[in-house]
Structure formats: C-alpha cells, structure tokens
Amino acid sequence: MSRFRCVPIPTETAARWRATGQDDFGNALRRSISPGTGAPCRHCLQNIAKGEAALLGSYRLSGPTGIYWTPSPIFLHEQECPAYTGENELAPIIRTSLVSVRAYDANQMVLYDLGQVAEGPDADAPLARALADPRTSFVNIHTAKPGCLLTRIERA
Ligand SMILES: [Zn+2]
C-alpha cells in the first residue's frame, strides 16, 4: 500500500474547543462521560476510555471543500491529549466501527467508484485501493452508520 498517514484535527482546534467550550460553529460543546465505546477522539485518534470526559461538537472539515463539503459531529477528549502521529497504520478509532472510505480528487470531487463500506478491521483493502488510484488526492474515513468523520488520510 502507498505510504500514508491519518491526519487528526488540528491541535489548535482541540485547544480552542477546550478553552472556549464552543465548537467551530459557536454551539456549546456537549460534555459526557464515556461509556467506553462509541466516543472516538479525533485528535489522538484513540477511543475515549470508560469514565473519561468527552466533548462533542461540530467540526469544520478542511476538505473536501465546495460541493461535497460537510461539517461533522466529533468527539474530543476533554483533557489535553497528544495529536496522533502514526504512519502507515490505521488509527485505533478506525478499527472499532463499520466505516465508510471516501476518496476525493484534486478538484475536491468525490470518486464514487472508490467508495466502500467495510468493518474497521477490514478497512485496509478499500483504503489501499483508493490510495493506489492516481486520481485520489486524499481520503476521508467516516463512521458508516451516523456518517461522522473519523479521520482524513493523506499519502505520506
Ligand atoms: Zn484524544
């Protein structure tokens, strides 16, 4: 597979949310205590452990821009956490849901023929297919059921 990295939300965004209590659209963040599943942090790309505080807000995606742009609800650790830095591996939060792999071209248009839904443990093959295609500029992986962004993926 092409070399790649999972790109978390910017550390500046995480810090701003924690400092202001507001998301990218001025909504008050919703605070909850993680039950141990279903709360993937988009900054460290780890699942928020049972008993840890989670913040929920609406995130302004960096891409795709234009017609295919959408905001996304995301969870974030309430406490400071390190930005994910792994390379050539899918982050832990990808492995625990049914996911939707969405590839986009350099014009920010979706490549429908490369889109695929897979169980997290089986997401490597659809990602490899998307990254092997020269039209692909970047990939977003979302939860397949609610459709929330899990992470952006770029070639390393
Ligand atoms: Zn985190």
pLDDT tens digits for range 63-74: 999 999 999 999
**59 within some domain:** yes
Are residues 69 and 97 located together in one domain of the fold? no
pTM, two decimal places: 0.96
Q: From ligand 1's centre to the CA of 45, what distance in Å?
A: 6
Query: Which residue among 13, 48, 77 closes a domain?
Result: 77
Q: What percent of the chain has pLDDT over 90?
A: 99
Q: From ligand 1's centre to the CA of 87, what distance in Å?
A: 17
Of 49, 53, 47, the residue nearest 32 (C-alpha): 53
Q: Are 98 and 144 in contact (CB under 8 A)?
A: yes
Tell me which DSSP letter residue 70 carries: -
CB atoms within 10 A of CB 104: 23
The boundaries of the domain holding residue 121 are 91-155
Q: From ligand 1's centre to the CA of 48, what distance in Å?
A: 7
Residue 2: pLDDT band with limits 50, 70, 90: confident
Query: Which residue among 46, 77, 108 closes a domain?
Result: 77
Q: From ligand 1's centre to the CA of 133, what distance in Å?
A: 31
Q: Are 78 and 56 in contact (CB under 8 A)?
A: no
**15 within some domain:** yes
**Span 33-86, pLDDT tens digits:** 999 999 999 999 999 999 999 999 999 999 999 999 999 999 999 999 999 999
Are residues 98 and 126 located together in one domain of the fold? yes
Are residues 27 and 69 located together in one domain of the fold? yes
Are residues 48 and 98 located together in one domain of the fold? no
